[in-house]
A and B are shown apart, each in its own frame.
Chain A
Amino acid sequence: MSSNHPGLSNNFSRSGEKFSWSKDNLRSIKNIISKYPKGREQSAVMPLLYLAQEQNNNWISIECIETIAETLNMPKIRVTEVASFYSMYNTRPVGENLVQICRTSPCWLRGSNKITKTICKETKCEINDTSDDNKFTVVEVECLGACSNGPMIQINNDFFEDLDEESTKKIIDNIKEGKPNVIGSQKGRRSSENA
């Protein structure tokens, strides 16, 4: 492994570009903050980090942290603490597709090792690395909560379940070629009905 999980690093970096909220996000922020009592706006730090990550190509830069701190009127170190605590906030740039492979026991028993190998081979990058074409970043994660459909992976916001080596390769190939993928079970199951 060349480096650690992008969400588990305590080192943040600058993107070099100014980060300011998009219009849509400004509207959502107003809505989110209104859910908390007055004077407790800081409670909205987690949803705001999520929005910032979405807007900022899937990672949190120092500029994002500073914008959030300003929006919520809280110390920057407090935002940094939260962003570094949770592994789902990436602290460094990741590829267009963040491939998270579940390696917890149920998926592992059903062969997540093979899935990992296939993905690494197909994307040409090691775990925790980003591919040269910046298309993929591959990471191993703990349980994503779809145990009955293991082995499974998450790519950006979508789950791909009931995988085997073949279907995994196809998913990666489709992404490379820009073709749409079937989300969810690759064996045609609806949610987690009996196979």
Chain B
Amino acid sequence: MTDLVDRRQMAYIAAQAADARVNVELETEGMTLNIGPQHPATHGTLRIVIQLDGEEVVAADPVMGYMHRGYEKLAEVRTYPQVTTLVNRIDWLGSFANEVPFILAAEQLMDIEAPPRAQWIRTILFELGRIANVTLFLGDMGVQLGAISPVFYAFRDREFILNQIEAATGGRFHPNFDRIGGVKDDLPAGWIADTKVALKAIQRFCDEMEDLIVGNEIFAARTRGIGVIPADIGLSYGLSGANIRASGVDWDLRRDAPCGLVYDQVDWKVWTHPDGDSFARYWVRLQEVREACGIVEQLLDGLPAGPIMAKVPRIIKVPEGEAYVETENPLGIMGYYVISQGGLEPFRVKIRSASFSNISIAPWLLKGTFVPDVITILASLYFILGDVDR
């Protein structure tokens, strides 16, 4: 089976390479380089087969599925509250954000609305998840380009946010906190003040990265003009999140369709960048972390009092129907298409994860680049393998 896939892969790559052979008169032989599935740059198990002419990429093909865990199928034999445990592990860096759209879809089917306080807590944790996730990207991009230190700062300062997530939910990585009709618990005492301190650390971290990475000439030389995604191409490949906003598309579901989350209650800005290159993607994400800090701060100030749980039956049975809910997750748009036939378990769950679409542009984008740029581009697209393979 693996052999067959491999051979098909190689044949496809060879055919692409034959089209684009550069040095025909020198009769140089191309080289097939297998990046991954175990490779330091793919932070996970992504395999990319690239056909090289010297160091120039003639063709590239990502091979996904090494981390496929079958969550869509597993969800069919879990009750609705149990599914959040699974989907926590999709984008493991911003776990809480994975739970929210699924719960929202279930609530939509059951025609329940969470009380305001629960919605605010959801939004706060959603944004904290984004901060925890993207903070790591801001440091990790440095590692991919050879600057080792920034990722340590990222780990150091992300810890403040994880501590807050842990204090509120009990889990650093996998909160499993969202419930149909509200959230599991209220926020602990003193949490709001502590979170504000943690946000200060993140804002300091953002300033640090601005100096250390964005202001670095070598970083600019490595990323500016590298991996340019025009807006129309990006949209046709289904890119979302910061990847498409870096191409100048002003499209953010938090503002455009904030279903169930309270982004319309706070004053914030959607950042875009006209260039569409790797630098733009980094820059947009840096601004988004800052913006997220601002959003959380405003939400903390305006947190309404009241219950955290709507009235829901003890045994959750979702009436027959279909619902699709998507939210603006840290990696891009994440959606759940949930079909219920009235039982305890969903009949079918289709997960639209951001990274899967984001990485689909890789073959188009990598063609004609150099090996070091492959790493830059993949790092700047920022995918998480759990989110690609599910």
Q: Do A and B come from one complex?
A: no
